[in-house]
Amino acid sequence: MAEIKVSTGGFTPELWSDKININLDSYGAYNDIVNRKYQGEIKKKGDKVYFYTYGDLTVKDYDPTAGSFTGLEYEDPQGNKQALEVNQQKYIGFLVDDIQEVQSNVDLVNGYTNRMSVAFANTKDAYIHGLATAGAGTKLHDSSAITLTKDNVWEEVCTLEEKLAEKNAITKNGLDYNGKRPALVVTPKFRSILEQSSNFFANAFGEKVLRTGQIGRIGAFDVFLSTNIKTVTSGAAKSQTIVALTSDAIMFADQITKTETLRDVKQIGDYVRSLMVYGGVVANPNCIVTSKFAVTE
């Protein structure tokens, strides 16, 4: 529940906070990919949620008659105890002529909260992409970006799937251990190359956008478009990094904790401001594979 503060008569912060929170769940390429199991357990910056990642178990020989047999050995499958810490906070603030007039108009409230949600969502999307690229267990072409064309882009998609399978990030049914399809988060440049490939149209199940950011399916992947992946420049070379991952890879939580307004003392008008707190952690690096590709004009 967002913290409520009313500084101007007629302002209903619950309305604004609730609308922003709802819209936050509708934007961003990574929104439906990351694990948000502990979403409701955060309230402010500094909050922590602890969870365990489970390690692999080993099958051992059993022969109690052997001279070398010393008894059964047991493992601790819990692995490492990890913390999801809410260590990020961002705000949006803007001026309106009259908050009561704005709030009496549903279209204006929807317009403002929608744009606030988009701005917040873009910020957290870039943050999650940074976690994924930094914490990936497998990084393809990390030292030298691959040059992709319509003739080899399908091969690269297949390699990403192969690397996830090699790390047991996906099951024999092609799903992760939460029963979801793995995701491929791409840039507009990668999408452009992909859509020129005949294999895309042979393997994508329709062109309908199923939810915000998703541009279809190809191979094992649900494909999502992100405009928050930066082009990295190194000398004369430019590159972008796409991410293949499963819902087991990243734990993430966010919340709009405050929305409030106050009167401008220097001019006629009202300030509206809203605070978002969030945090994430790579829970399983083996569930993330990245691919760095060269970008040309």
**What was the pLDDT predicted at 95?**
79
Local confidence band at 242 (pLDDT 50, 70, 90 cut-offs)? very high
Other Cβ atoms less than 10 A from the Cβ of 262: the count is: 15
Q: What are phi and psi of 292, to 5 degrees?
A: -95, 125
The backbone torsions φ and ψ at residue 134, rounded to the nearest 5 degrees and listed phi first, read -75, -35
| Two tokens, residue 59 | 């099958």
Q: How confident is the model at residue 201 (pLDDT cuts 50, 70, 90)?
A: low
The answer to whether residue 269 scores a pLDDT higher than 80 is no
Instruction: Specify whether the CB–CB gap between 99 and 272 falls below 8 A.
Output: yes
**CA angle, corner 28, sides to 25 and 31, nearest 5?**
55
Q: Is 141 within 8 Å of 288 (Cβ atoms)? A: no
Residue 154: per-residue pLDDT:
92
Report which of residues 147 and 70 the model is more confident about. 147
User: What would the mean pLDDT of 178-206 be, rounded to a whole number?
Assistant: 81
**Per-residue pLDDT reduced to its tens digit, 30-67:** 988 998 887 767 778 888 888 777 667 788 888 888 88
Q: Are 222 and 239 within 8 A, CB to CB?
A: no
CA distance 179 to 207: 23
Helix (H, G, I), strand (E, B) or coil at 194: helix
Name the amino acid, one letter, at 100: Q
Q: Which pLDDT belongs to residue 213?
A: 54
Check pLDDT > 50 for residue 212: no
Q: Please check the confidence at residue 158 and state whether its pLDDT lies above 90.
A: yes
pLDDT higher for 258 or 167? 167
Computed over every residue of the chain, the mean pLDDT equals 82
